[in-house]
Every structure is written in structure tokens, then in C-alpha cells.
């Protein structure tokens, strides 16, 4: 077990837990109103929204999975970069309008908007259910990200004891989401993003220096993986795969309930437009971070028996944790792993709030209790956020790790 890393990790985790519980008092609002609990009162300015959306969209799973894809499959994994380039013009054009309409009519979810725009509650139900269905496995993926770094610190055990750290982390998450609503991930996101920026900047300076520069790193990649294969005559082959993967993902990203929750939490349309211009800072970081996958190849991690064992359990998802273990002193490994685990908390919190909002607005109030009071509505949302997280936890334990890795 890596005691130093674990100590740093636990300290940072305790710090953000305190922030999470304290967040309910920040810009105090009446948390028995759904838009106060579930959208932070629509009061987040440019910078808070930047941290919130950055923490929301660039998840722990991204930090693990994108480099793992470059590590395993090569150039195709870099699609995350054009994807996150195209997503912001779309945010700029489409979502201020959605914000304005939702603000005017008090809509909290995308399904609320559909209900109002098309006047059909069944269509709204279909949109809401699609959102919930798409988000549940996404929350579970955040758990996978957390599982990998907890395991990488040597906390592995059989049965319930092995799952205990993850369960504790999720109980904490569930508790502060319940009490503080969207304010909690918004505040924690500031810490998370600072930690992630520190870890990534350190990694892209220190590791290439250890490996002899970027030229050497790229030279270690087999030519077939360094670039996309040129398609055979009469076919677009990997070119169209790369372009459509990026474009399709960009079209989809802001339709996820957790993205819409982040957007609707903004205090105005101008905040959203400004964020379209400043959020790409995260894309640049993601692009550089993805190259850790190539650094993991160049570092020859498989030759280190302790790290090769990690690959056996977590497959390519071990590329980033393994690289940090091999390249940094234990205390910094603790910082980096805490960044990833906290990077899982933020989106998981926002996702559970988003699905809770949908359940409450578009199922509970629409079909079960149309005459509910505001307090009943927000109480139901808090309860639903707990159910969603319990569901994700069950999902991850019932599902063998191998399958989760392929999601």
C-alpha cells in the first residue's frame, strides 16, 4: 500500500467534503425551492460557471479513458480534441436561447422545455426518460474512474472490504449533494480544476523531460498508430470515422441532462457566450493530457512488474495512474489521484442532480402529484438524487469491471 499517496489523497478528499457541506450556505437561497437546490438559484456568474461546466464536462472518466484510448488504439483517440473544438460554437449559438426561454418560464430540465414548446407531456416524458437512461451509466463510469485510482494506491481487497473506499466516497457525495444541491459541485469544482491543472501541467513538463522530449515520445509510437490509416480507394475509412465521431459527440454533449443543468445554472445568456470562449482552456488541457497515453507507451510501463499487475486488473485504463506511479514521488501521486477522484465527484453530483430534477419535474409532478408544493417538489428531488446514486453503485458492483471498461 502506498501510505504517503493515500494520506495526501484522504486529506484532500476530507477538504472537499467540508466544502461540499459548507456550500449550502454560499449565496444562500431557499433550498426548499427546486431551482435553488437543483440549479443553484440560476445565479452563477462567468467564472463559477466556467469551473462548474469544466468540472462537469471533463470528467474523471475522460482523464482516464482518453489517454487509455491513445495508449491502446493510437491517433483515433485524439478525436476528443476536434470534438471539444466543435462543441463550443454550438454552445454559443444554441444554448443562450435555451437559457432565456427556460429562465422566462421557470423550466429546470430539457423535458420541461419540450413540454412547454410542444405542449405534450408524453413527448416530455420520452425526452426525460432518455436523459435519465443516458446519465445512469455515465455516473457509473465516474465510479470506474475512482475505482482505478483507489486500486492504484494499493487499496484492493476481496469482497465488501475491497469496495468499502468507493462506498464511503459515494455516501459522502450523496450526503453533500442532498444538503447543498448544485452549489456543492460548483464550489468543489474550483478545487478539482485547480488540482487537475496542477497535475497535468506537472505531467507534461516532468515526464517528457524524463523521457527525452516530445520527439522521442512520438518516435516510440508505432507508425500505424501515430496517424490515422489512409483509407483505401473509394472509401473514406478512418477519416470519416474520426470526423463523425468528433462531430456526433459535439452535437450530443450539451444535450446531456448534466450539461443542461450546468448551463441553466448560469446567471444570464452573456455568461454562457463568454463561457463558450473560455471553456476551450479545458480542451487544451485535455489534448495535452491525452498525450499521457503516448508517454505511457514510451515509458515502457509494462517492464515494471508492479505496474504491469495494475494493467492486468484495469487494462488500458491503468495507463495514466501507472504513468504517475512510475514518474512522480508518492506525495504528488496522492495529489494527482485526488484530482481524478474529486474529478469524479463533481460530475457524479451534477448528473445525479440533473436526473433528480427530471424525475421530479417530468414524472413526479407531471404524473404522480400534480398539486405538490414547492417544498414537496424539492424534497422529492433530494430523495431522487439519493436513489440515483444508490442505483449507480449497484450498477457498478453488479457489473464485472471488464464490461465497465468497454462502455
Q: Which residues bind another protein (CB under 8 A)?
A: 75, 78, 81-82, 84-86, 88-89, 92-93, 100, 213-218, 226-228, 230, 239-240, 242-243, 246-247, 270, 273-274, 276-278, 280-281, 283-284, 287-288, 291
**Grid coordinates of 145:** 474512474
Half-sphere exposure of 334 (CA within 13 A, CB side): 16
**Cell numbers 487537475: residue:** 196
**80-105 vs 280-290: helix axis angle to the nearest 10?**
150
Q: Which is nearer to another protein, 95 or 176 (CB)?
A: 95
Beta bridge partners of 44: 266
Q: What is the DSSP letter of 44?
A: B
Q: Which is nearer to another protein, 205 or 398 (CB)?
A: 205
What phi and psi, each to the nearest 5 degrees, are found at residue 158?
A: -90, 150
Q: Which is nearer to another protein, 247 or 397 (CB)?
A: 247
∠ Cα 73 75 81 (to 5°):
120
Long-range contacts, 281-284 (Cβ 8 Å, 24+): 281/54, 282/54, 282/57, 282/58, 282/84, 282/193, 283/81, 283/84, 283/85
**Grid coordinates of 277:** 470562449
Q: Which is nearer to another protein, 37 or 58 (CB)?
A: 58
Q: What is the DSSP letter of 75?
A: G
Q: Residue 266 in 3-state DSSP?
A: strand
Q: How far is the CB of 57 from another protein (least distance, A)?
A: 14
Q: How far apart are CA 50 and CA 48, in angstroms?
A: 5
Q: Which is nearer to another protein, 135 or 259 (CB)?
A: 259
Q: How far is the CB of 390 from another protein (least distance, A)?
A: 38
Q: How far is the CB of 250 from another protein (least distance, A)?
A: 9
Q: Which is nearer to another protein, 89 or 300 (CB)?
A: 89
Q: Which is nearer to another protein, 88 or 364 (CB)?
A: 88
Q: How far apart are CA 396 and CA 388, in angstroms?
A: 13
Closest CA to 22 of 195, 193, 179: 179
Closest CA to 143 of 158, 160, 165: 165
Q: Which is nearer to another protein, 290 or 362 (CB)?
A: 290
Q: Which is nearer to another protein, 23 or 221 (CB)?
A: 221
Q: Which is nearer to another protein, 228 or 372 (CB)?
A: 228
> Is the CB of residue 378 less than 8 Å from the CB of residue 361?
no
Q: How far is the CB of 201 from another protein (least distance, A)?
A: 15
Q: How far is the CB of 81 from another protein (least distance, A)?
A: 5
Q: How far is the CB of 203 from another protein (least distance, A)?
A: 16
> Is the CB of residue 401 less than 8 Å from the CB of residue 147?
yes
Q: How far is the CB of 83 from another protein (least distance, A)?
A: 9
Q: How far is the CB of 221 from another protein (least distance, A)?
A: 9
106: left (phi > 0), else alpha (psi -120 to 50), else beta?
left
Q: How far is the CB of 385 from another protein (least distance, A)?
A: 33
Q: How far apart are CA 248 and CA 124, in angstroms?
A: 23
Q: How far is the CB of 72 from another protein (least distance, A)?
A: 17
Closest CA to 148 of 341, 7, 292: 341
Write the CB contacts of 206 (distance below 8 Å, at least 6 apart in sequence). 327, 328
Q: How far is the CB of 43 from another protein (least distance, A)?
A: 21
Q: Which is nearer to another protein, 157 or 248 (CB)?
A: 248
**Grid coordinates of 219:** 518516435
Amino acid at each position: 500500500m502506498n501510505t504517503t499517496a493515500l494520506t495526501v489523497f484522504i486529506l484532500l478528499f476530507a477538504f472537499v467534503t467540508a466544502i461540499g457541506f459548507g456550500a449550502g450556505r454560499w449565496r444562500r437561497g431557499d433550498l426548499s425551492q427546486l431551482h435553488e437546490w437543483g440549479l443553484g438559484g440560476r445565479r452563477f456568474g462567468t467564472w463559477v460557471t466556467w469551473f462548474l461546466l469544466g468540472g462537469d464536462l471533463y470528467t474523471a472518466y475522460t482523464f482516464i479513458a482518453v489517454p487509455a484510448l491513445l495508449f491502446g488504439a493510437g491517433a483515433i483517440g485524439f478525436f476528443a480534441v476536434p470534438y471539444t473544438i466543435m462543441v463550443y460554437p454550438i454552445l454559443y449559438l444554441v444554448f443562450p436561447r435555451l437559457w432565456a426561454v427556460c429562465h422566462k418560464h421557470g423550466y429546470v430540465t430539457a423535458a420541461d422545455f419540450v413540454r412547454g414548446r410542444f405542449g405534450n407531456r408524453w413527448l416530455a416524458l420520452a425526452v426525460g426518460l432518455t436523459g435519465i437512461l443516458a446519465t445512469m451509466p455515465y455516473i457509473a463510469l465516474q465510479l470506474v474512474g475512482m475505482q482505478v485510482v483507489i486500486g492504484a494506491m494499493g487499496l484492493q481487497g476481496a469482497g465488501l472490504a475491497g469496495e468499502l473506499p468507493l462506498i464511503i466516497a459515494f455516501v459522502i457525495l450523496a450526503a453533500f449533494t442532498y444538503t447543498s444541491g448544485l452549489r456543492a459541485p460548483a464550489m468543489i469544482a474550483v478545487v478539482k480544476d485547480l488540482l487537475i491543472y496542477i497535475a497535468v501541467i506537472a505531467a507534461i513538463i516532468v515526464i517528457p523531460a524524463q523521457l527525452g522530449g516530445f520527439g522521442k515520445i512520438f518516435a516510440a509510437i508505432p507508425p500505424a498508430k501515430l496517424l490515422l490509416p489512409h483509407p483505401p480507394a473509394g472509401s473514406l475509412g478512418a477519416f470519416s470515422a474520426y470526423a463523425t465521431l468528433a462531430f456526433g459527440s459535439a452535437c450530443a454533449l450539451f444535450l446531456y441532462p448534466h450539461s443542461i443543468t450546468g448551463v441553466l445554472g448560469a446567471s444570464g445568456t452573456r455568461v454562457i457566450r463568454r463561457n463558450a470562449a473560455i471553456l476551450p482552456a479545458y480542451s487544451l488541457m485535455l489534448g495535452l493530457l491525452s498525450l499521457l497515453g503516448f508517454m505511457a507507451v514510451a515509458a515502457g510501463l509494462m517492464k515494471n512488474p508492479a505496474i504491469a499487475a495494475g494493467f492486468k486488473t484495469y487494462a488500458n485504463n491503468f495507463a495514466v495512474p501507472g504513468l504517475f506511479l512510475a514518474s512522480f514521488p508518492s506525495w504528488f501521486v496522492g495529489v494527482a489521484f485526488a484530482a481524478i477522484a474529486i474529478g469524479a465527484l463533481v460530475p457524479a453530483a451534477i448528473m445525479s442532480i440533473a436526473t433528480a430534477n427530471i424525475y421530479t419535474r417530468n414524472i413526479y409532478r407531471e404524473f404522480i402529484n400534480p398539486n405538490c408544493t414547492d417544498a414537496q417538489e424539492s424534497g422529492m428531488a433530494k430523495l431522487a438524487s439519493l436513489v440515483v446514486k444508490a442505483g449507480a453503485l449497484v450498477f457498478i458492483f453488479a457489473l464485472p469491471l471488464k464490461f465497465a471498461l468497454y462502455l
